[in-house]
Amino acid sequence: MSNTLDILIVGGGPIGLACGIEAKKAGLSYVIIEKGCLVNSLFNYPLHMTFFSTADRLEIGGYPFPSIHSKPNRMEALEYYRRVTDVSDLNIRLFEEVQSIKPGAEEVYSVSTAKGKYKARHIVIATGFYDIPNLLNIPGEDLPKVKHYYYDPHFFYKQKVLVVGANNSAADVALETWRRGAEVSMVIRQPELQSIKYWVKPDLQNRIDEGAIKAYFNANLTEVREQEVDLQTAEGKLTIENDYVMAMTGYQPNFSFLEKVGIELSDDALRHPTHNPETMETNMPRMYLAGVVCGGMDTRVWFIENSRVHAVKIVQHILEQAKVSS
């Protein structure tokens, strides 16, 4: 049993790192397994993204997050989490995807990855929800011109861009691509703009009011073709010319992975993973959830700032259980 870890953490995002820091503080053996680069979801955020949270709310492990802005940007966050990982000397394996987690004898889980095998008494799943986009399920969505991820606005210079959605991501995409010379339209299901960062919403509303960005409210995108798209509006069907569709429709956790490892999901549309909010333990004994994955499809509940505590809860529960069994 000497090669058996106390904790194996799936996911190297901020909350996965926080779990590693707490495990190390408690003297527990652990490893963090991340299928991509360090804080992979943050790396794939838009190039110029600014966080809604202030720097102090993004801190983990008690390490201060210095920022020259009141709200840090993507580059500052990447630098911060790299430094935290180095200073903490975290045991992390990058670009290694977990393929299976199976319960075995003596209350030990067997974990297989693309690069090796591990044994661990406890599993923490901190995989976030940024890997799988919510699809529109319309004709033409599989065309290369339809994108669910956005990085740099320069690419869309002098292109006709349709942005689907009215959340923070959609607002950022619309404004940034328009300012870099794109011809931007938005298709929005609601009758007006919804919850958008307070310093962004007036900017977008003003651009819509002046006609710089065309917004179709109470409307849906119904079909995508190579050079045009169809919208269903309150006035009827409308076809407009189009080069790219930015479908900012949100993302979801990897539910198939959660089910594969034995975690039960609620039967409703939100598909909440079963777990005890006091300990974060799931229906699978000694298997825990941490971070935004806890919310299922309700992706507006958990953020870095309010799920950092999950790491503390999990390690405390593991230590308490060890005392009981000893």
**More confidently predicted of 287 and 325:** 287
Report yes or no: 12 and 304 within 8 Å, Cβ to Cβ: no
Residue 2 CB coordination number (10 Å): 4
For residue 288, list its beta bridge partners: 124, 281
Residue 325 has pLDDT above 80, yes or no: no
pLDDT tens, position by position, 14-37:
999 999 999 999 999 999 999 999
Structure tokens belonging to residue 15: 């909350």
Looking at residues 259-282, what average pLDDT do you find?
A: 96
Looking at residues 161-185, what average pLDDT do you find?
A: 95
Residue 326 has pLDDT above 80, yes or no: no
When pLDDT is cut at 50, 70 and 90, the band that residue 2 belongs to is: low
Residue 118 has pLDDT above 60, yes or no: yes
Looking at residues 207-223, what average pLDDT do you find?
A: 97
Residue 269 has pLDDT above 80, yes or no: yes
Looking at residues 93-117, what average pLDDT do you find?
A: 95
Structure tokens belonging to residue 309: 């505590």
When pLDDT is cut at 50, 70 and 90, the band that residue 263 belongs to is: very high
When pLDDT is cut at 50, 70 and 90, the band that residue 11 belongs to is: very high
pLDDT of residue 1: 41
In terms of phi and psi (left: phi > 0; alpha: psi -120 to 50; beta: otherwise), the region of 201 is alpha
Chain region(s) in the chain for CATH 3.50.50.60: 5-132+251-325, 135-247
Looking at residues 254-273, what average pLDDT do you find?
A: 95
Report yes or no: 128 and 16 within 8 Å, Cβ to Cβ: no
Structure tokens belonging to residue 103: 């319960």
What dihedral do alpha carbons 202, 203, 205, 210 form, nearest 10°?
130
Structure tokens belonging to residue 271: 């598909």
Query: Please, what is the average pLDDT of the chain?
Result: 94
Looking at residues 205-234, what average pLDDT do you find?
A: 97
3-class SS of residue 156: helix
Element (H, E) at 320: helix 309-325
pLDDT of residue 299: 79
At the topology level, CATH places domain 5-132+251-325 in FAD/NAD(P)-binding domain (3.50.50)
Residue 273 has pLDDT above 90, yes or no: yes
**More confidently predicted of 194 and 255:** 255
pLDDT of residue 195: 80
Q: Which long-range contacts (CB under 8 A, 24 or more apart) does 186-190 make?
A: 186/162, 186/213, 186/214, 186/215, 186/216, 187/162, 187/163, 187/216, 187/219, 187/220, 187/221, 187/231, 188/215, 188/216, 188/217, 188/218, 188/219, 189/218, 189/219, 189/220, 190/166, 190/217, 190/218
Structure tokens belonging to residue 239: 């076809």
CATH among 3.10.150.10, 3.50.50.60, 3.40.50.300, 1.10.150.20 for 135-247: 3.50.50.60
Residue 142: DSSP 8-state: T
| Predicted structure pTM score | 0.90
Report yes or no: 80 and 58 within 8 Å, Cβ to Cβ: yes
What residue has token string 């503080």?
Answer: 25
Closest to 94 (Cα-Cα) out of 12, 18, 7: 12
Pinpoint the alpha helices (H) of 197-265. 201-209, 255-260
pLDDT of residue 323: 83
N residues, the chain: 326
